[in-house]
Structure 1
Amino acid sequence: MQEYINIYTDGSARGNPGPGGYGIILRYKQSVKELSQGFRLTTNNRMELLAVVVALENLKTNQIPVRIFSDSKYVIDAIQKRWVYGWQAKGFNKKKNKDLWQRYLSLARSFNIEFVWVKGHNGHPENERCDVLAVEAALGKNLLIDHYFEEVQQHED
């Protein structure tokens, strides 16, 4: 049976834009690690995508295949339907989250990644836990500044 590093992600924004956060669970065999972070002004889609990026950035190896579980159709469809590669070819012209997509594409090259869509708020234990982490992060203190969103993207809209 194939071994995988399983990654569960979720993003949240309280208002869109508004305070937001992401939640991540990294699982390999018996090892489990949770990550989360909040931002003072961002969007739900940014947090969904940032969760995937941060999860990949936190992996210590690229030698084990990775399965990423997400309830974000935005993220899953852009990757599985290969839209992101068309956006990249056009310089992400008029596309949101260019900075995060570029980070993702740079990371993804060195991993064997399989994406799995899960229905959100449907009782999936890890997805529910990631949602709690993301919401708690969004509502927490010490929120970081999503510089790209606040300084660049918001002014392009």
Structure 2
Amino acid sequence: MIKLYTDAASKGNPGPTGLGVLVIANHHQYQVTDTLQLADNHHGEFAAARLGFSYLLEHFGPQQTVLFYTDSRVLSDAIGKNYTKHYQEELAALNQLIGQFTTVVTQWIPDRENHGAHHLANQALKTLE
């Protein structure tokens, strides 16, 4: 079982955006960051999730059970309902990745429980300043 935490941090809305991914697998932590030159926070949250699931596919393969944690209600609701009014393209791209795994359980968590991914997103954002 793999735990995946993702987050995005934007300066401006839209603006430069940092993406943070924290993976906990086999008693090890893996940290991944990336940036977007211009995005709003919701697009950033979807991008961070895609980054996380892409990382898992590349490094662990699809035969995994993934517990996915996000502090984005928009993202967790979109995955749960398989619908979003404004982010259809982003959800479709994310679903292509999620669909490759054996099992994915998505859970919304409050900001205070997503410190690792949040810190990574802010670190990535600082590289754009």
Compute the TM-score of the two structures, normalised by the length of structure 2: 0.87
Q: Quick one: structure 1 residues 97 and 11, their matched pair in 2 at CA, closer, same or farther if it must change by over 3 Å? A: farther
For 1:40-119, list aligned pairs within 5 A: 40-59=37-56, 60-84=60-84, 95-96=86-87, 98=89, 100-111=90-101, 112-119=103-110
Identical counterparts, % of pairs: 25
CA RMSD of superposed structures (Å): 1.7
CA distance in 1, matches of 2:87, 2:76: 15
SS of corresponding position for 1:62:
coil
Letter in 2 for 1:140: T
Larger proportion of strand: 2
Q: Quick one: structure 1 residues 38 and 97, their matched pair in 2 at CA, closer, same or farther if it must change by over 3 Å? A: farther
CA distance in 2, matches of 1:62, 1:106: 12
Larger Rg: 1
**Residue number in structure 2 paired with 1:15:** 12
1:52-71 deviations in Å (ceiling 9; x for gaps): 11111111221121010100
Number of equivalenced pairs: 125
Structure 1 unaligned residues grouped into runs of 5+:
88-94, 144-157
Letter in 2 for 1:130: A
The answer to whether the aligner puts 1:138 opposite 2:125 as a matched pair is yes
| Structure 1 runs, 4 residues or longer, greater than 6 Å off | none
Compute the TM-score of the two structures, normalised by the length of structure 1: 0.73
**Residue number in structure 2 paired with 1:129:** 116
